[in-house]
Amino acid sequence: MHTILRKRQGFTLIELLVVIAIIAILIALLVPAVQKVREAAAITQAKNNLKQLGLATHNTHDVNKITPMIFGNYKGTLGSVFFHILPYLEQNNLYNLGADGARSKQLEVLNHPMDQSYGAGVFNLETSVPSWANATATGTLNPYPSWANQANTLWGLSSFSANWQFFGDNGIKLTSIMDGTSNTIMFNEHYSIMSRPAGTPRFGASLWGYGDLPITTDYSLAAVMAKFGKSQLPPDSIYVNGYWARTGFVNNAGAVPAAWPWTQNWDCRCMRKAEFQPSYQNAHPLKSQSFATGGMLACFGDGSVRMVSSSNDDERFCAAESPAAGEVVAPY
């Protein structure tokens, strides 16, 4: 008698389930690894972008012996600090368009790969936006500075902000940074577009070409009280809204909390730490934000780019933003 061997037609159900289970396990192991690789690549790109901003600022300083200001007339040309360093970012053609002509352009050097709000890199700024002073966002104001043509409502976005305390309204000589350039933040991460459920301002966008001339030359409590009758700048002023690519500023010149270790008033200096990995739909427009796990990338006054740990408290982070207030405390 001959035994007929039949050819096997496929896998059994149990075998298929085992294969599927193995594939699922492999995917579960692989996905975190891929995410870590992507995050590492994004951080490397962001560090490179911040490094370029730092080098451009130093080159601008070397030529003119002072950095640009956060916004203003720098060597006879009006614009933001980002606009003024364009020639040193190989963007001479864009710089030659002037502040109003250049402001709507998307710049890859200002794009952080982990900024979920960046999108196409441009923002449509309406001529009527929620008022800073109105927590329920029922009031409106026109956020356009006089130098900007309102017929063009597009503005380029930035995933990085400039430290107002570093650049100020007049620029700064690097030799005057008494707290040390390696201890003082120049640029850091910041969402391009942000909002939050409550608070003032509720809405904002980090527009690299945005800004207006200052409305005071002295932000001390005494000077602000004397000029405006209270410890704040006018809340509907363009200078205080949430559309600047600027951090380190807060609309409060008043006294610090009693528990604060230093005695200086706020003097419109933000004295709170960054928000670490918040949602861009629940982020303070005037505060710094981080995108990566564990800390915030920042370019310091010496041009170095480092991660500022999320374990830093308000006091240490505040010290890192102020260039010459005597808080010589390096963030870690």
Model confidence pLDDT, tens digit, residues 134-158: 655 567 789 999 999 999 999 999 9
pLDDT for 141:
85
**pTM for the whole thing?**
0.87
Which band of pLDDT confidence, cut at 50, 70 and 90, is reported for residue 9? low
For residue 178, pLDDT over 60 is answered with: yes
Distances (CA, A) of 155 to 140, 191, 192: 19, 15, 11
Which band of pLDDT confidence, cut at 50, 70 and 90, is reported for residue 34? low
| Strand 246-247 to 160-163 pairing | parallel
Whether residue 312 contacts residue 332, with contact meaning beta carbons closer than 8 Å, is answered with yes
**Which residues, 6+ apart, have CB-to-CB distance to 42 below 8 Å?**
112, 113, 114, 291, 292
pLDDT digits (tens, 9 = 90+) for 291-316: 988 899 999 999 999 999 999 888 88
pLDDT digits (tens, 9 = 90+) for 183-237: 999 999 999 999 999 888 888 999 999 999 999 999 999 999 999 999 999 988 9
pLDDT digits (tens, 9 = 90+) for 269-290: 988 899 999 999 999 999 999 9
